[in-house]
Amino acid sequence: MREIDDASVDWMLQQELDTSSHQRQRLIRCDFGGLTASTMPYGQARPLKVVAKLHAVLFSLDDALCDEAGATAHGLAHTTSRIMRVLEAPTPAWPDDSPHTAALRAVRLELAEHATPGQLRHWTEGMRTYMSGLVWEAACRRDRALPSVNDYAAMWMRAIGMAPSTALMDIAGGYELQDQDLDRPEIRAMTEMTWTLVAWDNDFYSRNKEIQRAGDNLNLIDVLAQERDCAPARAQEEAMAMRDRVMTLFLRLREQLWPRSGVELRCYLVALGQFVRGHLDWASACARYADPYGAGEPARWWKTEPADDSLEPLPLPAIAWWWDQLESTPYPRRSQRRNDLHHDVRDGAAWPDGAGVATGCSGRSG
């Protein structure tokens, strides 16, 4: 973990992504190696180093062009379109590459050493999803009013940057997922739930940082407070309940899929859950979310039981289709399932779920 973090930080500094020494110090303290190792502990060493480099670029890009820079949709559309063309055709280099574009080009070329053409296509499409989300996010930030909860859920699952991360899971693990598996509605739902869980968890950890550094209240809590016309404290309770209902569906749907999944797909299902848990482990200790900026410990808001374990769909059209993937067989509520195989008790924090480490995944050497 330390070796991966040191390598990613050294590489990030060589790319000269940020001109501010203060910003460089903030990024150095992000622990990209810890994030990578926590979310993909099953990964092979060489691909994981590429994953950590990608994390470094995306965090820098997020701070420099998105959250804290007053970006416009027009400006981001220009920037992200250039980035996507570079990822589609990484050679030859453009003479006027920005530092972030050049760094992402380098990541794309290095990733090709570990990925098949199909995996590279999946990752490039994941980056396209992310880039389109950034433009939508910038438009939301320029609007006078916050978006609806439904629009926010659809936008933020894309703009959080999870699409390229989930596309890296089989590359890091040394196996390859097939299109027919990834295109199954149930697997698409599991993938989008992972994006959303990480996105909403990020809101809980990063809200204070965003408000203090940029006066930014584009997060689930404040969007809910506007729509419900309630105080942020009450909105946070509802946000946590929403998050736990998605987590409940994630676990039930994974249980439903498990018996009819091959080895590679099981590895992917476990990897999705591991990313959710690993992100929480990392964020709960990361200096990026400490207040103020490293002087204290980040909040640990986990509970031992879900605030809401209902299997009723959330009233959000953008994501309600996830619940359609459950079969009609009734599942008992968590309170009736004390021996649930996915209920992992560690350090008094069993919720969100600890999904474990993907095992039994044989693939290419890396």
Task: Give the list of residues 6+ apart from residue 4 with CB closer than 8 angstroms, or none.
Answer: 32, 33, 36, 37, 45, 48, 49, 52
| Residue 349 confidence (pLDDT) | 31
| Residue 308 confidence (pLDDT) | 94
Reply yes or no on whether the pLDDT at 153 is more than 70: yes
- For 18-67, write each residue's pLDDT tens digit: 877 888 888 888 899 999 999 999 999 999 999 999 999 998 888 777 65
Question: What is the separation, in whole angstroms, between the first and last Cα of the chain?
Answer: 17
Q: How confident is the model at residue 209 (pLDDT cuts 50, 70, 90)?
A: low
| Residue 336 confidence (pLDDT) | 38
| Residue 66 confidence (pLDDT) | 67
Q: How far apart are CA 136 and CA 48, in angstroms?
A: 30
| Residue 206 confidence (pLDDT) | 82
* Single pTM value for the model: 0.87
Q: How far apart are CA 12 and CA 27, in angstroms?
A: 9
Domains and CATH numbers, the chain: 1-290+305-325 (1.10.600.10)
SS3 197: helix
